[in-house]
Amino acid sequence: MDFSDWLLNEINKRGWSQAELARRAGIPRQIISNYINRQREKPDSDVLVSISRALNLPPETVFRAAGLLPPVSPDTEYQEQFTTFRNFPPMSVRKY
**pTM, to two decimals:** 0.74
The maximal CA–CA distance of the chain, rounded, in angstroms, is 56
User: Is pLDDT above 80 for 61?
Assistant: yes
pLDDT band, very low/low/confident/very high, at 42 (cuts 50, 70, 90)? confident
The CA distance from 87 to 28, in Å, is 29
pLDDT (0 to 100) of residue 4: 95
* Pure H helices in the chain: 3-14, 18-25, 29-36, 45-55, 59-65, 74-86
Q: Which helix (H) or strand (E) holds 48?
A: helix 45-55
Nearest to 54 by CA among 95, 30, 18: 18
Name the amino acid, one letter, at 68: L
Report the pLDDT averaged over residues 15-31: 97
pLDDT tens-digit profile of 4-14? Answer: 999 999 999 99
User: Is pLDDT above 70 for 79?
Assistant: no
Higher per-residue confidence, 90 vs 32: 32
